[in-house]
Structure 1
Amino acid sequence: MTVQRMDNVAVVVDDLPAAVAFFLALGLELEGEAEIEGLFADHTVGLDGVRSAIAMMRTPDGNSRLELTKYHHPAPIGAGPAAPNTLGLHRVMFAVDDIDATIARLRPHGAELLGEVARYEDSYRLCNLRGPAGIIVALAEQIG
């Protein structure tokens, strides 16, 4: 048996509407929202009494999805923003057509550059920024 595809990446957030607004500003589309609870949720994630709200965001090409999750119960555990060299999930990267315009759209939603926009040879302009719940969101603009 082989993997068919990567279905989604999930990010736990404390403010679901703000996270949805951030990723809408980035250019993702809201696929749907749902309240999640019950034994299937408890069994799936390995916690008791799960009550959460999710928003499924989809890239415009329809090939990738980002699940934003707000836990009502049990309460989320605060981890703080990770540094780029922290073990574990590093970042989520999106290809954009105009990196400067994208950054400008995301700043009102709390985005902060971790460094600066850098050029990789004659191929890409790249940057890392801090997004919802402290996650690192990388942007890549192909230039060559």
Structure 2
Amino acid sequence: MTVLRLEHIGIVVDDLAAATAFFVALGLEVDGETSVEGGLVDRINGLEGVRADVVMLRTADGGPQLELAKYRSPSYEGDDAPAPANAPGIRHILFVVDDIEASLASLRAHGGELVGELVSYENSYRLCYVRGPAGIIVELAEKIS
């Protein structure tokens, strides 16, 4: 068995418009939008009565996509507190950017909050974590020349 490629990463959000604007501000492009529902969608999700809106985003290089989904039903009744960076599960997505200061400023204009600090890591990258909509943590990395 061989994995052929990573196709997309899916993130469930509570405010699809805000999450889309956040990632567009980072430089991703909307590749498509749709709504999904029906028996097959229920079976894939293991839920009943699924109705969701989906936005697909892509980077300029055409690599794997980012899927943002807002479930209109069924509702989720869990804890919505943002998890810390060391909580088990998917915690962040890293994007390599050409100007980390500009990227950080753009994300802050869309509600992004710096998690820790912007640091230089071993003279190879400038790095930081930014928390965005739905508690999503985005790591920004700029190669130090």
> TM-score, normalized by length of structure 2?
0.96
Residue 41 of structure 2 corresponds to which residue in structure 1?
A: 41
Check conservation: 1:82, 1:135, Cα contact below 8 A. Answer: no
- 1:131 is matched by which residue type in structure 2? G
Deviation at 1:80, TM superposition (A): 1.7
Task: Identify unmatched segments of 5+ residues in structure 2.
Answer: none
- Within 5 Å, give how 1:100-111 maps onto structure 2: 100-111=101-112
- SS, match of residue 44 in structure 2: helix
- 2:14 is matched by which residue type in structure 1? D
String of CA shifts for 1:115-138, please: whole Å, max 9, x gaps.
110001121000001011011110
- Residues in 1 aligned to 2:36 and 2:79: alpha-carbon distance in whole angstroms: 21
Residue 113 of structure 1 corresponds to which residue in structure 2?
A: 114
Residue 56 of structure 1 corresponds to which residue in structure 2?
A: 56
- 2:140 is matched by which residue type in structure 1? L
Residue 22 of structure 2 corresponds to which residue in structure 1?
A: 22
Show structure 1 runs of 4+ deviating over 4 A.
none
Q: Does 1:125 align with 2:126?
A: yes
Residue 5 of structure 1 corresponds to which residue in structure 2?
A: 5
- Residues in 2 aligned to 1:117 and 1:134: alpha-carbon distance in whole angstroms: 19
Aligned-residue Cα RMSD (Å) equals 0.9
Task: Identify unmatched segments of 5+ residues in structure 1.
Answer: none
> TM-score, normalized by length of structure 1?
0.96
Q: Percent identity of the aligned residues?
A: 54
- Residues in 2 aligned to 1:31 and 1:106: alpha-carbon distance in whole angstroms: 20
- Within 5 Å, give how 1:61-100 maps onto structure 2: 61-76=61-76, 77-100=78-101
- 1:81 is matched by which residue type in structure 2? P
- SS, match of residue 109 in structure 1: coil
